[in-house]
Amino acid sequence: MKNVKPKKIGILTAGGDCPGLNAVIRAVVKIATTKHGIEVVGFKDGYDGLIKDEYITLGNREASGILTIGGTILGTSNIANPYKYAVKRDGKVIFKDVSKKAIQTYKKHKLDALIAVGGDGTLTIASKLMKDGLKIVGVPKTIDNDLSGTTLTFGFDSAVTTATEAIDKLHSTAQSHHRVMIVEVMGRYAGWIALASGMAGGGDVILIPEIPYRMEKIREKLRERHKAGKRFSIIVVAEGAKPVGGEMTVHKIVEASTDKVRLGGVAYRLADDIEKLTGIETRATILGHVQRGGTPTAFDRILATRYGVEAMNLVLEKKFGRMVALKGNTMTNVPIAVAIGKLRVVPVNSPLVLSLKAMGVSFGD
């Protein structure tokens, strides 16, 4: 039975959207249908589609022309957890275990495998469904680049490119008005986007969650620049950055979500503190979801396509419970458990951090 070819597989995209998702779908569909005659079912809105049995059949027509399109043609959800599904009862949000519905949908369609494209939340759910008997292959997706087991996640390069372009544009207005311009980028609890876009965009101060900052150190850097005749400064801050001994800035709490905390707003907090400490006019820009949208970069299109191809290889080889991964420039795979074991955060002595510090960039420490 080991050499029996799969007849039907499913695919879903869950969690936050990002550029490159459609490239994965395209690669999977083209290989499955054109080369192997395998039927592909795409579940709508992440695990919600698996729970409610809402799907579309994916063929060459559906996969055509989607490579350059951002987002996902299947839709997504970051709150549809089969094991903790939010429902309203008497005006209150309660959570129910509806995983049996998801399992029934999988069995109803007689799937030989399910490809789950997502980040740590998506793959954590996938690991639970595997224990309940589903055959799953994972594909790493997040702009935050915080999944363990892989060198890069697709979506990250596109987000960094968007953030860098925004920083470039803010340089001119900062110079013209002699201001401090603060750019807040996404990343949740990891500082990869801030680090990469700050380096590419020439940030003078880069603040990341992994290195708590001190306001006096930021003030020292700004005064140093002013003494050198540089009458403007660019600060790139990750949404999860926090002061020494302080907490991250929480924008709101979403009760229906399995990850209730929504970070955001640290840039405004910093702007107020800097003006009070230095008297320098300071403006804050929060990029927010613009980093998730738009056309994927060429790099992300290539990476996502490679991931889709490798995911199909794992399905054909019946290597389930594994996530495709990039090591250096080599495509490989790791157990899904490795990917979700812990977040991949920025090492404080990483080459990028050390290079930036050597160039005089301040991390507020």
Distance CA 151, CA 145 (A): 8
Sequence-distant (≥ 6) Cβ neighbours of residue 24 within 8 angstroms: 13, 117, 139, 141, 154, 304, 305, 307, 308, 311
Distance CA 61, CA 43 (A): 17
Nearest to 154 by CA among 144, 163, 162: 144
Check if the beta carbon of residue 264 is closer than 8 Å to that of residue 185: no
Listing from the earlier edge strand, what are the strands of the sheet with 39-43? 55-58, 39-43, 8-13, 113-118, 136-140, 322-327, 330-335
Any bridge partners for residue 148, and if so which? none
Integer-rounded Cα Rg, in Å, for the chain is 22
For the record, the structure tokens of 153 come out as: 């996640």
For the record, the structure tokens of 162 come out as: 């968007």
For the record, the structure tokens of 91 come out as: 């005006």
Amino acid identity of 349? Answer: N
Determine how many CB atoms are found less than 10 A away from the CB of residue 104: 14
Marked catalytic residue, from 144, 146, 157, 300:
144
Q: In which element (H, E) is residue 169 found?
A: helix 156-177
Distance CA 98, CA 280 (A): 54
Q: Specify the 3-state DSSP secondary structure of 302.
A: helix
Nearest to 139 by CA among 284, 336, 5, 327: 336
Based on the residue annotation, tell me whether 48 is a catalytic residue of this protein: no
Kindly report the backbone phi and psi dihedral angles of residue 232, in degrees, each rounded to the nearest multiple of 5, phi listed first: -145, 160
**Which residues carry out catalysis?**
144
